[in-house]
Structure 1
Amino acid sequence: MTNLLLRLYIAGPSATSRRAEQNLRRLRDVAKARDGLAVEIIDVLKNPELAEQAAIIATPTLALEHPVRPRRIIGDLSDVERVLDFLGIESEGTRA
């Protein structure tokens, strides 16, 4: 997979937001197509209009921006392998 956009919506510097950011970095590190992954972190307290446009109702929320199958996950992304599987992104540990 290439050219995937992941947007993480957080609410300020809370412990949950920081944990989600750390887990997103881990997710990107283990993704096979990490060079094809673009990541944006959006603080909804600083940019509420972006959260409203995306219809974000809870944070942290990870959004996979895809024209055919967009996906969203709410939470701190602690189960990295499960998140990758849900998003349809192969990890380095996955065998073909």
Structure 2
Amino acid sequence: MNDTSVHQYRLYVVGDTPAGQRARDNFKIIQEVILSGNAELEVVDVLKSPERAEMDRIVAVPALVRIEPPPSFKIIGDLSDSAHLRSFFAVAGGNDSPQEDGT
């Protein structure tokens, strides 16, 4: 990516489930490979902070929300679908941005 600003993401999980752990692990790879280490991740456990999930309209987990830079996008799942992720992490402003449901 050519952008030097820090990208901010929020990952919603339920406790320490295998899918949530895979999503965390996959984000670490994405952070280094796609985002060149230029990203911050906040992990939110929806059991401990259900109001945060409601605020971001999270209905399934794990769910990743891009907070910055705008626009905000969501992707549902353990972040293992590489083709889907390329679209999700595309440079802001392109026409290849995913729909809000992550497709």
TM range (shorter): 0.7 to 0.9
The alignment's TM-score, normalised by the length of structure 2, stands at 0.74
Equivalent residue, structure 2, for 1:15: 18
| Pairs within 5 Å for 1:25-64 | 25-35=28-38, 37-64=39-66
More helix by share: 1
Identity percentage over the alignment?
34
Q: Is the 8 A contact 1:27 1:84 kept in 2?
A: no
Following superposition, the deviation at residue 82 of structure 1 comes to 3.6
State the aligned residue count. 88
Q: Is the 8 A contact 1:26 1:80 kept in 2?
A: no
Cα root mean square deviation, aligned? 1.8
Unaligned runs of 5+ in 2: 92-103
> Secondary structure of the equivalent of 1:28?
helix
The alignment's TM-score, normalised by the length of structure 1, stands at 0.79
Aligned letter for 2:23? A
Could you list the structure 1 runs, at least 4 aligned residues long, displaced by more than 4 angstroms after superposition.
none
In structure 1, C-alpha distance between the alignment counterparts of 2:83 and 2:30, rounded to whole Å: 8
The structure with higher relative contact order (CA 8 Å, sep 6+) is 1
